[in-house]
Structure 1
Amino acid sequence: MNAEKLRLQETKAHHIHWKRWGPYLSERQWGTVREDYSATGEAWDYFPHEQARSRAYRWGEDGIGGISDYHQHICFGLAVWNGHDPILKERLFGLTGPEGNHGEDVKELYYYLDATPTHSYLKMLYKYPQTLYNYAWLVEENRRRGKDLPEFELIDTGAFNGDRYFDIFIEYAKDKPEDILIKITCVNRGPDPARIHVLPQLWFRNTWSWSDDGDIRRPHVKAGNGSWLEVHHPQVGDYRLYYEGSPELLFCDNETNSQKLFGSGNSHGYFKDAFHEYVIDGRQEAVNPARTGTKATAYDTLSIAAGESQSIRLRLSKSDAGVTNPFADFDTIYAQRRADADEFYDELQEGVKTDDAKLVQRQALAGMIWSKQFYHYDIPRWLNGDPGQPAPPPQRKEGRNHEWFHLNNADVVSMPDKWEYPWYAAWDLAFHCLPLALVDPQFAKHQLVLMTREWYMHPNGQLPAYEWAFGDVNPPVHAWATWRVYQIDRKQTGKPDRDFLERVFHKLMLNFTWWVNRKDYDDRNVFQGGFLGLDNIGVFDRSAPLMNGGRLDQADGTAWMGMYCLNLMRIALELAKENPVYQDIATKFFEHFLHIAEAINSMGEDAHGLWDEEDEFYYDMLHLPNGEARPMKIRSMVGLVPLFAIETLEADLIERAPEFAKRLEWVLENRPHLANLVSRWQVPGRGERRLLALLRGHRMKRVLARMLDETEFLSDYGIRAVSRYHKDHPYVLHCDGQVLQCYGQDLSVEYQPAESNTGMFGGNSNWRGPIWFPVNYLIVESLEKFHHYYGDDFKVECPTNSGNYMTINEVAQELSRRLCSIFLKDADGKRAVFGQYPHLQENSQFRDHLLFHEYFHGDTGRGVGASHQTGWTGVVAKLLHPKREAVH
């Protein structure tokens, strides 16, 4: 067993807490809902970036390349200054949602290069220009640009021209769980000598300002008697931060500079922005001469020759860790942890075909690990306010998230992205858990359990969506992720964790009931759902009430529920192996699936199904107040989601569940219209394999024919979210001969392969054409299941009209190849993800550093949306994995 696996085992057994410290610091705490105490809920405006350096946060902390203890009491992060910027660079800069021409966007270049699951080794790269960082230009140019133009990025400003920038590598290596070696290496990539100011910072999350006993429990950091800082926290204990050389020690308090920001309050103090004022403005009186406080730094200035590098070494250790000479063994430990990381990934990546594929997979997994974050949000406290603080405006009691009175989160959670989305999203997290399970199945299982705990899940059974609107509706993929993580964990450990499976299963039955009671409008087994992640793929906001009391039956909402039934049925059959009672529950979900399958395809002679016989595709159905039912003929991912509702049942599985088998046979014999929804295949010597799917036979072939058509959904880089057909044939919604409008725009959908041209849904709502990894991944898995049933004799044309026929498994492999080609070098050494930037494609210091965007251009594969959203795009690591377990 390699060293990192041993650390994982020790952590799982609670023998040694290797994860007590990790990359749990956010990259943006300002502009979040948690920090918003306004009456109107305008989070971006209430706490802007400009105030972040001077204003204490209430619910969390942020920093560059930072780490913290598990509950973020003690934080460490990097601040730098190039001598030209107007501000000390303590946190990453980006545009707010209203500022960007396509929504919020971080305007920095940084990369997660390496990470082990216990955080025994972490490596990040931050690229910092040596010239003026032009914040104003980035804001103004993006404000000037319309939605028909791409975003204006930092690299577009010329900030990296002539290689006049620093590469700043931030590395952590653990000797013990609470003995952390820190190495900051600054490389001058430019042609001339350059100076950089380096301020490694240690501070405490401000908890004392919000409680009655703040002075009693207040932590402090002070200069030690040697080359170290003494760190004391009443809950975490005593630490030392060792440093080398003779840096200048600076101290202040993590407190708001109210006089500076608001023109009121105490002007005598040493506030959060003291280091900025000391370094940038030369105000020596800003820092505490007594050399103590709740925030400290060991400030150094490095003069680095062209092409050279210099490193700063520190060591953060528990005071009783037995460290006597902190830097004598530093290089040895550091080298060993790097070697441990290599050994861990060498074993994991055995069989990965190329070194480039290994690089992509390792960086994707590094991003998944770095994107863990301590997330703290107590809704009752947030709504009611803190002792000794001004009461929040009364409008909050009826405003955002007031229905989630039970929610009290204070955990380390996998984030979609720690800048653009520094908050969890329930369905994003489900996809995160698959690649995370490759390196740390215990953490993946913990995340799935967490979302169903009482302090997350609503008492009515709903899972929390995300902090901007916990009550929004995400696709119900939690059961799918639970089953898949169970399978991955079983394969890795050889032991099925049925306790985990059963624990989540019971909570998911509550969530399933919530869906049935809330989202099946008139109990017809056709679901409305609402948002479901596809916010910009339709002509209007599907979460909002429709015009004049209309209703939208959703093909994707209904299909997701069909998939949910099959996922829960399969889990119940697994649990029935040890407890026969679960056969009854499996039967319930089997029959419910049949009713959903019947409803989505045909709801009786006088009603409308969601399958359009003329187009041979699934569409949403708009029900107007006058009784008219109109299919919304938009060829989009909505019509492909029915592919996801598929399960195969092996004969031996059915034989081990005799009560379930009896009920299955009764339905097949006595409900012939439902029996037609179940396919069976005779396997010599093994009995009958069953196929349950919303799409089978002819209809499956017709949907695949459209999906694999390169003039429609099939791109060189995966499956588009909207058919390319709509480039020349936009869908326009008419009523009584008039084109309907909303917010001054026609209610229409056209194919837009990258940035969306509508702001109807706010932010980066770019669903009208790009490649989107989570649903593409589900397509690949669904095809693999279809192949398991139909076998090699069943072939389809791929691409459509090409004359080339493939088995369904070969189609799955082809889609996987196209998705991975977004990141892998092509024959010319280019990566599609980098798009039009030759600097990223060709420069040796850029071309092998990957960004895992939110989605990708439907025609070129370039990255679109949140540039560092490793999150669900991290499933590329799973696609690259050579030892993928069977999904059936």
Structure 2
Amino acid sequence: MHTQEEKRLEENKATTKDWLKWGSYLSERQWGTVREDYSANGNAWEYFPHEHARSRAYRWGEDGIAGLSDNFGNICFGLALWNGKDAILKERLFGLTGPQGNHGEDVKELYYYLENTPTHSYMKHLYKYPQNEFPYATLVQKNKERNRNEAEYELLDTGIFDKNAYFDVFTEYAKADDEDILIKITVCNRASTPASLHLLPNLFIRNIWSYKDKVQKPIIKKEVKDEQTYVSITHHYVGNYNLYFEVADKLLFTENETNMEVIYNQPNNHPYKKDLFHTAVTSNDYSLATKRSEGTKFAPLYHLQLKGKEQRVIKLRLTRNSEKTPFDSSFEATFTAREKECIEFYKTITDCKEEESNIQRQAFAGLLWSKNYYNYEVETWLNGDSKLSLPPIERQHGRNSEWKTLRNHDILSMPDAWEYPWYAAWDSAFHCTSFALIDPEFAKEQLLLFTKEWYMAPNGQIPAYEWNFSDVNPPVQAWAALNIYKIEQKKTGRGDIKFLKRIFNKLALNFTWWVNRLDSHQHNVFQGGFLGLDNIGVFDRSHGIPGNGILEQVDGTSWMALYCLNMLEISLEIAMDDDSYEDMATKYFGHFVFIAETLNTRCLGDVCTWDAQEDFFYDQLVLPTGQFIPIKVRSIAGMLSLAAVLCIKKETLARLPKFKESVLWFKKYRMENLKFPVIQNYTEDNDFLLSLVPKDRMKKLMETLLDEKEFLSPYGIRSLSKIHETPYNIVINGVNYSINYEPAESTTAMFGGNSNWRGPIWFPMNYLFIQAIREYYSYTGDNTTFEYPSGSGKHLSLKEISDALSKRLINIFEKDKQGNRPVNALHQKTYQDAHFQDYILFYEYFHGDNGRGIGASHQTGWTALVTNLISEIK
């Protein structure tokens, strides 16, 4: 029996209803982004700071709090709030820029994504707004005073929420139809004393007319009909809509245009500018804002006087329809129905206990709230717009200048809607693996986007992220495609072969780019740069390799081996439907064999990639003289070799005789010429295991992986071995390079941001290891066991170990017997409060020893993999 939400997804796919036209697509931060940066030096943070955002029209998008927009970001809706004490009207979330934060960019607000469905038929957001003056200056100053060895100074640390002196502002959306959206804003005074709040539900039109010629300017206009006051929206691209709202204290209108006097010290052509509401509210002068009855930015203003513990509800409705009674009994009935349908839908994902269900629903909510409209056309950005002055000439040879074919204008899954409000190619692959559980169609189309000609470069490179599209992210798109395919197949009973063909044919181009670009000596050992693992090495692996050398990376080679196996598995799956793909399977099989042989046998003299004394793979620095220098860092870069594994079932081989014949030929005629036994213990009519790591080395690595003195934390797998609590040092050309175990925030500014791969726990890598262990289990069954943890004397099967690792990761978010969640380790007292205890933040990564959340506080993107872990544990 399909749920109502599943029926809506089917209607959307069949195009009988456009349920995805409206959603939580409004970004949380547009300022400080590369696409809004028109400076000569590429300093995006300083060119467009938070201070400018209220007065300056954006070029490439919009932002807001708890926002809604159409799927091209033209008509936008979001909250604005004022507590009567702040210097500014709060229309967007505040945070520190990259240079301001002691660990990089850092949102300094408290908000939670509580509910969201794939069609955005029901959405719920919570923003906690202090009643006393928001500590903007204190947050900036305190973090400025702290160094990289200290924790970040957070909003909760200021004491601003003491004595419950704050408002809980819940924003809910419920779709009565695909273009009929009900909005309910509930303001709760959590203090025991009276408090007032100015609430402005903002409706605004993205400004295109200031930048482009011959653009028909949209309009929001006051209307009165049947004693009902509302505003109409006329938009050439999106269509005509009405916004209904309950009786307000005032109706404010202005234009979503730059205040030239404030930003550029130039005269304005009229006084109705983007920041007019800010000026009117904070100065209590509404004469100008109420003078007009039309514009491109509108807000009904509600001055709420709330008693202690009191709450008020404000209702609005954005619709194509004309409504005589927009807030009749059906309004609440729709909210009740949509919330119930949301809960019913998520029950179909997994049948789990209430605590896990709460974790899973909030994780999915964060994943869906982080679907944002993203627009960036690089060639236009480089050349500038006809109605504005041209950008500085330096831009033509600066950041992203070689990506003129890149044109992004889509709904994309953001890593974090504030800290990373732009896509990252490898992040998105993990996001799609979680999206596949709830909306396989979106997951497939999202992954395919990166292979479109307006994304993928002509040479086959996939764009990384807007700060540097040419950077090298791990090639996990094929891995994600397989996950999406299998999840949908399990869910529906049928696999989408057409999707596999579409993605496979494009990824074949990307695979070739990798081989040609990053195997400089043609030895099947790959370089690749930092490969997403910021600062995991002793030096920046993307730039300035010591001694003008080349770093042969275990993780670069492992990623390519995994890519080979993913492409092999995809081609095998397609070949069962179309036998012409058997030849491609043979190609990737052969390529994998040579990569595996090289990684396991690569030596120069006595120095080898595999260190037989220490039982570990280490990166090798190759100097121009030909000298090898091992970089003996025990990290997940060396462990990643475990992830490249594939069990090919005998049933598959039986159905693909040409591929089976190739394997047997290879075993008979090629194996004896190899220095390394790539295919071990294979006999005809049995399953077939391909592993980058041979059996004896796999056992050694597994023992290390499961050692609590090295990689195994109470909360998952650390990114760096704990043995590096004693720093590792190496001198190259007279310069000392070092690395040490850092379980929390990064103490190095090597990559400038807040990421740290020198010890903490990261969900995507943990998920890869768990999948690999399950793949080994599919070949060995219960015949292979390991001590878990190493040295404990307790042996578990590989399946039991994968489940145990999953539980450690899930436990990060679960309450213990005292009601504390490890993720909240720094603020346990606050999260004991009744109005905090059920809310969860899904951080970028987690403390290697105590599991507390670190980095971006809403990076539900790849941390949403916790939903997969909950679903997969039996």
TM-score range, shorter chain: over 0.9
Q: Hey, what's the Cα distance between the residues in 2 that align with 1:882 and 1:734? A: 46
Which runs of structure 2 are paired with 1:557-706 in the superposition (5 Å)?
A: 557-603=556-602, 609-673=608-672, 674=674, 676-680=677-681, 687-706=685-704
CA contact (8 A) 1:165 1:188 kept: yes
Q: Distance in 2 between matches of 1:665 and 1:811?
A: 33
Of 542-551 and 64-73, the range deviating more from structure 2: 542-551
Deviations 1:85-140 (A, max 9, x none): 11000000000000000111000000000011100000000000100101011001
2:773 matched residue in structure 1: 783
Does residue 238 (structure 1) correspond to residue 240 (structure 2)? The answer is: yes
CA drift at 1:281: 1.7
Cα distance in 2, alignment partners of residues 254 and 322 from structure 1: 26
Please tell me whether the aligned partners of residues 554 and 620 of structure 1 are also in contact (alpha carbons under 8 angstroms): yes
C-alpha distance after superposition, 1:353-374 (max 9, x if no partner): x211110011001111111000
1:680, CA displacement in angstroms? 4.1
Once residues 515 and 661 of structure 1 are traced to their aligned partners in structure 2, the CA distance between those partners, rounded to angstroms, is: 27
Tell me the residue number matched to 2:147.
146
Deviation at 1:79, TM superposition (A): 0.4
1:612 offset after TM fit, Å? 1.1
Q: Which amino acid aligns with 1:733?
A: I
Distance (whole Å) between structure 2 residues aligned to residue 370 and residue 209 of structure 1:
29
Equivalent pair of 1:452/1:507 in contact (CA under 8 Å): yes
Q: What are the equivalent positions in structure 2 for 1:449-488 lying under 5 Å apart?
A: 449-488=448-487
Q: How many angstroms does 1:286 deviate by?
A: 4.1
Preserved CA contact (<8 Å) 2:414 2:421: yes
Q: 1:78 — aligned with what?
A: 79
Partner amino acid, structure 1, of 2:505: H
* TM-score of the pair, normalised by structure 2: 0.98
Deviations 1:480-533 (A, max 9, x none): 000110111111122221111100100100000000000001100000011201
| Secondary structure of 1:203's aligned partner | strand
Give yes or no for the alignment of 1:295 onto 2:297: yes
Instruction: Report what 2:434 is aligned to.
Output: 435
1:228/1:607 Cα in 2 relative to 1: closer, same or farther (>3 Å)?
farther
Greater CA deviation, 190-199 or 285-294?
A: 285-294
AA at the equivalent of 1:496: G
Query: Structure 1's 148 and 604: CA in aligned 2 closer, same or farther, altered over 3 A?
Result: closer
**Any conservation in 1 of the 2:219–2:294 contact (CA below 8 Å)?**
no
Match of 1:757 in 2: 747
1:256 correspondence with 2:258: yes
Task: Report the Cα offset of residue 340 of structure 1.
Answer: 1.1
> Can you list the C-alpha shifts for 1:769-808, whole angstroms capped at 9, x where unaligned?
1001000000000000011111112111111111111111
1:757-776 CA deviation, whole Å, 9 max, x = no partner?
11121011311110010000
| Segment drifting more, 287-296 vs 103-112 | 287-296
Which shifted more, 585-594 or 232-241? 232-241
Map 1:377-396 → 2, pairs under 5 A: 377-396=376-395
Give the aligned residue type for 1:852. F
Q: Is residue 327 from structure 1 mapped to residue 327 from structure 2 by the alignment?
A: yes
The 3-state SS of whatever aligns with 1:183 is strand
Q: Please report how far the alpha carbon of residue 604 of structure 1 lies from its aligned counterpart in structure 2 after TM superposition.
A: 6.6
Per-residue deviation, 1:342: 1.6
Counterpart residue type for residue 715 of structure 2 = Y
CA distance in 2, matches of 1:537, 1:298: 51
8 Å Cα contact 1:535/1:761 also seen in 2: yes
- Tell me the alpha carbon deviations over residues 533-567 of structure 1, each in whole angstroms, 9 at most, x when there is no partner: 11210011111142332110000000000000000
Counterpart pick for 1:733 among 730, 734, 745: 730
Secondary structure of the corresponding residue to residue 429 of structure 1: helix
Give the partner amino acid of 1:326. P
User: Are 2:826 and 1:825 aligned?
Assistant: no
Equivalent-residue separation in structure 2 for 1:453 and 1:607 (angstroms):
46
Report if aligned partners of 2:546, 2:732 keep a CA contact under 8 Å in 1: no
Q: 1:618 to 1:246 in 2, by over 3 A?
A: same
The AA in structure 1 aligned to 2:258 is T
Aligned to 1:149, the other structure's residue is in SS state coil
Counterpart in the other structure of 2:709: 711
CA distance in 2, matches of 1:317, 1:61: 21
Q: Are 2:516 and 1:520 aligned?
A: no
2:374–2:409 CA contact under 8 A, matched in 1: yes
Letter in 1 for 2:133: L
Q: What is the rounded CA distance, in whole Å, between the counterparts of 2:562 and 2:629 in structure 1?
A: 25
| Distance apart, 1:882 and its partner CA | 4.7
What are the Cα deviations for residues 573-620 of structure 1, in whole angstroms up to 9, with x where unaligned?
Answer: 111112211111100000000000000000378685421111111111
Query: How far apart, CA to CA, are the structure 1 residues paired with 2:81 and 2:475?
Result: 43
Q: 1:41 to 1:540 in 2, by over 3 A?
A: same
CA shift, 1:464, in A, is 0.6
Over the aligned positions, Cα root-mean-square deviation in angstroms equals 1.4
Q: CA deviation at 1:70?
A: 0.6
Partners of 1:9 and 1:792 lie apart in 2 by 41
2:853 to 853, 863, 882: 863
User: Which residue type is aligned with residue 865 of structure 1?
Assistant: G
The equivalent of 2:12 in structure 1 is 11
Conserved in 2, the CA contact under 8 Å of 1:600 and 1:609? no
Instruction: Write the distance in 1 (CA, Å) between the matches of 2:218 and 2:75.
Output: 12
Correspondence 1:100-111 to 2 at 5 A:
100-111=101-112
Are the equivalent residues in 1 in contact too, given 2:212–2:385 (CA < 8 A)?
yes
Amino acid at match of 1:325: T
Preserved contact between residue 599 and residue 609 of structure 1 (Cα < 8 Å):
no
Change (3 A) 1:44 1:286: farther
**Secondary structure in 2 matching 1:812:** helix
Contact 2:586–2:659 (8 Å) recurs in 1: yes
CA distances 1:206-253 after superposition (whole Å, capped 9, x unpaired): 011111113x34444434443211111111111110011233110000
| Distance change in 2, residues 1:334/1:502 (3 Å) | same
Query: 1:625 deviation in Å?
Result: 2.6
Matched residues in 2 for 1:286 and 1:616: separation? Answer: 74
What is the CA–CA distance in structure 2 between the aligned matches of 1:591 and 1:605, rounded to whole Å?
A: 24
Deviates more, 1:403-412 or 1:595-604: 595-604
Question: Counterpart of 2:34 in 1: which secondary structure?
Answer: coil
Q: How does 1:306-317 map to 2 (within 5 A)?
A: 306-317=308-319
Maintained 8 Å contact 2:218/2:234: no
TM-score in terms of structure 1 length:
0.96
Judged with a 3 Å threshold, the aligned counterparts in structure 2 of structure 1 residues 680 and 379 are, in CA distance, closer, same or farther, namely same
Is the contact made by 2:220 and 2:231 (CA closer than 8 Å) also made in structure 1? no
Residue 650 of structure 1: CA displacement?
Answer: 0.6
Distance 1:521 1:40 in 2: 32
Note if contact 1:839-1:846 (Cα within 8 Å) is conserved in structure 2. no
DSSP-derived class of the 1:242 partner: strand
Q: 1:681 to 1:56 in 2, by over 3 A?
A: same
> What's the CA shift for 1:2?
1.2
Structure 2: distance between partners of 1:702 and 1:222: 72
Unaligned runs of 5+ in 2: none
Q: Is the 8 A contact 2:71 2:411 kept in 1?
A: yes
The amino acid of 1:758's aligned partner reads T
Displacement of 1:205:
0.5
**What is the rounded CA distance, in whole Å, between the counterparts of 2:436 and 2:513 in structure 1?**
28
SS in 1 for 2:491: helix
Q: 1:16 to 1:680 in 2, by over 3 A?
A: farther
Structure 1's 90 and 605: CA in aligned 2 closer, same or farther, altered over 3 A? Answer: closer
Contact 1:247–1:298 (8 Å) recurs in 2: yes
Write the mapping of 1:366-385 to structure 2, written as runs, cut at 5 A.
Answer: 366-385=365-384
- 1:649-699 CA deviation, whole Å, 9 max, x = no partner? 0111111111111111111011125582113466xxx92100000113110
What is residue 743 of structure 1 aligned with on the other side? none
Superposition map of 1:42-81 within 5 A: 42-81=43-82
In the alignment, what sits opposite 2:503?
Answer: 504
Determine the C-alpha separation between the residues in 2 that align with 1:475 and 1:126.
35
Give the secondary-structure state (helix, strand or coil) at the position aligned to 2:317.
strand
- For residues 281 and 52 of structure 2, the distance between their equivalents in structure 1, rounded to whole angstroms, comes to 18
Percent identity of the aligned residues? 51
Shift of 1:569: 0.4
Per the TM alignment, residue 160 of structure 1 is displaced from its structure 2 partner at its CA by 0.5
Aligned residue identity for 2:712? L
Residue in 1 aligned with 2:722? 724
